Structure 1
């Protein structure tokens, strides 16, 4: 049994022992944060009974817990998890070290839910990117990239941290994943675009705002596009020789990325004559799907690292999505659309109590010395166990 399952059992056991603890959890811990369906059903039942002013949830916590609290919760949960018996709550109670530490156990449950949510949306982005790469599209990739970004921001607010990109240290950064092979058609589009720009340099004005060298999959094509951009920026003539000279000045011929014959061939004025803007949009589309594949793999690798605190995971994941966010913005510019937010209307800032509860630390609450000891077990009541002493 994993520590996360123990935490889920502990927080539910704490609420069974002390229904008043539900008031410290209800604002920020939700049933969907529980991994096991039976635990989610029980917690949802507790929240529903609380919303209906169940007598146990209104008690001051200084007396025995009515047995009806247990039976009513189980009965409500069986609507979603058939076969649940009254024995199961007693197993949860025995798994709770201290009922007053319920917010800390709830924080552990929320932490596990954050890792699962990030991994789930990273997988969806990865599948969408693979599909779009095969189809030559990027709509689903852009949608799931936006959803993942919004989910990270929402989780950051729920956890009580700032959704800020943070570069992970080398010990945490995901291992490099070799890029997948690029289709021949994509390389042909890149060559055709370079020919269009070399034969009609005025078309650079149509693409330089949103097309970047990294959008080319082939390193040699990236160097030629850089050379074309540099010549255009300086207002110098663009032809086969000037591009070759600029590529040489940038070291592209020294490291064998390119050779003179290839540069002259790609910049042949007879090689291109189409609309650069249309072909450039296809390049950005392919680049978006390609970059999303890599970014999703990085985020997924971070999400499965259970040692990462939620704040770290969110910051590192946002950093991995940084290049994708910029590329998605440029893709929208190329298509004449504006990027949107899938969850911005649904997300709201948490209350101060929410943040305080979510950021609780694993420090046991000191029991009030003036409080009387818990009552002895009764025949028709679920008694609270006596507090265990903490070894020094």
Structure 2
């Protein structure tokens, strides 16, 4: 059986056996359960607890009345179909020890983190592909912001800080996916832009501040833009001859990256538009392409069940880094001011008791003191106690 399903059953069975365990599960929400019937049952338990059900009173702690089970099933049945009373006994039997409810809840939260990150990565990928079809970027940027906010909230629920961290090895993404829509138009915009930058004096000044070689979908076009950037950086004249010479010096003709015919075709093309406008089209397609790549990497991370939630959140934030970089340059190209960073959350957003319950760690035992040799003076008491809080 799926371990996550067993964990959900165990935490629900623990609360059915001991309603007081709900006080230790304040950080767990109904939406963290994967099955609708489990979400309805946990929500029903919280509702009965809020309404001061007799089972949660101090006088009823010794013996849990049967009404706690029957009323929970009745309340949950109002919101979900197919729930039967015998299933409550299945949940009770699935709980090894009711006192371990926070630990079982932590397992449920861990599964919810992986599932939630996967869902939002899929949404980001879909938004990026839709934007590529429409020639827009707003959908991908919105979903990227939503994903970043979700990762920050999940980090605080788990009891960690949302810090980007590169994985030891890049995630193994699926096989090559179909290209984004408008691939031919993107290649055409790139050729037009290179033609304008080659033939129009001073055109590089319009894009050099925010357009990068990585923004080009075609590797050959990226190499040519690097050549143009090198000529511009050295203050040398830019024309088709100097561009051809720079490409030859970089070995692009010798290794087959470019051919003289390809370069001639680009230089002989007619640049339809200004360098700034064409550059904006190129970086726009770069943004949607990068969003799709980030989404695929995050989904691959989330589908790795062996990855701890804290690592998953940190690696996912790191995977959003390239998109943030392209987004900043996109805003610079369009004259959009950079957003003001949100203030860091205070410690009140994640109370220590809630974090400790979510982590469900055991309190470490104090280290054993080494035996004193006979005749040795007793060691002086520590100047201060450790400031570390066990988690």
Does the alignment reach a TM-score above 0.5? yes
In structure 2, how many angstroms separate the alpha carbons of the residues matched to 1:61 and 1:254? 85
In structure 1, how many angstroms separate the alpha carbons of the residues matched to 2:89 and 2:78? 20
Q: Who is 1:17 aligned against?
A: 17
**CA 38–180 in structure 1, closer or farther in 2 if over 3 Å, else same:** closer
In structure 1, how many angstroms separate the alpha carbons of the residues matched to 2:333 and 2:351? 40
Per-residue deviation, 1:217: 0.8
**CA 138–324 in structure 1, closer or farther in 2 if over 3 Å, else same:** same
1:318 equivalenced with 2:298 (yes/no) = no
**CA 176–249 in structure 1, closer or farther in 2 if over 3 Å, else same:** farther
1:224 equivalenced with 2:224 (yes/no) = yes
* Equivalent pair of 2:220/2:257 in contact (CA under 8 Å): yes
In structure 1, how many angstroms separate the alpha carbons of the residues matched to 2:149 and 2:290? 18
**CA 25–60 in structure 1, closer or farther in 2 if over 3 Å, else same:** farther
Per-residue deviation, 1:175: 4.0
1:125 equivalenced with 2:132 (yes/no) = no
**CA 328–299 in structure 1, closer or farther in 2 if over 3 Å, else same:** same
In structure 2, how many angstroms separate the alpha carbons of the residues matched to 1:161 and 1:228? 45
1:157-202, Cα deviation, whole Å (9 max, x unpaired): 11112222222233x7214743644722211110101111122242
Question: TM-score scaled to structure 1, two decimals?
Answer: 0.84
**CA 30–344 in structure 1, closer or farther in 2 if over 3 Å, else same:** farther
1:22-47, Cα deviation, whole Å (9 max, x unpaired): 11101x11000000111111111111
1:48-94, Cα deviation, whole Å (9 max, x unpaired): 12222323223277501122222222222111024533322221111
SS at match of 1:53: coil
Matching residue within 166, 171, 174 for 1:173: 171
Per-residue deviation, 1:12: 0.7
SS at match of 1:29: coil
Q: Who is 2:378 aligned against?
A: none
Instruction: Please list every run of 5 or more consecutive structure 2 residues that lacks an aligned counterpart in the other structure.
Output: 366-391
In structure 2, how many angstroms separate the alpha carbons of the residues matched to 1:313 and 1:30? 20
Over the aligned positions, Cα root-mean-square deviation in angstroms equals 2.8
Deviates more, 1:307-316 or 1:1-10: 307-316
Instruction: Please list every run of 5 or more consecutive structure 1 residues that lacks an aligned counterpart in the other structure.
Output: 367-392
Q: Who is 1:7 aligned against?
A: 7
**CA 6–273 in structure 1, closer or farther in 2 if over 3 Å, else same:** closer
Question: TM-score scaled to structure 2, two decimals?
Answer: 0.85
Per-residue deviation, 1:107: 0.4
* Equivalent pair of 2:232/2:238 in contact (CA under 8 Å): yes
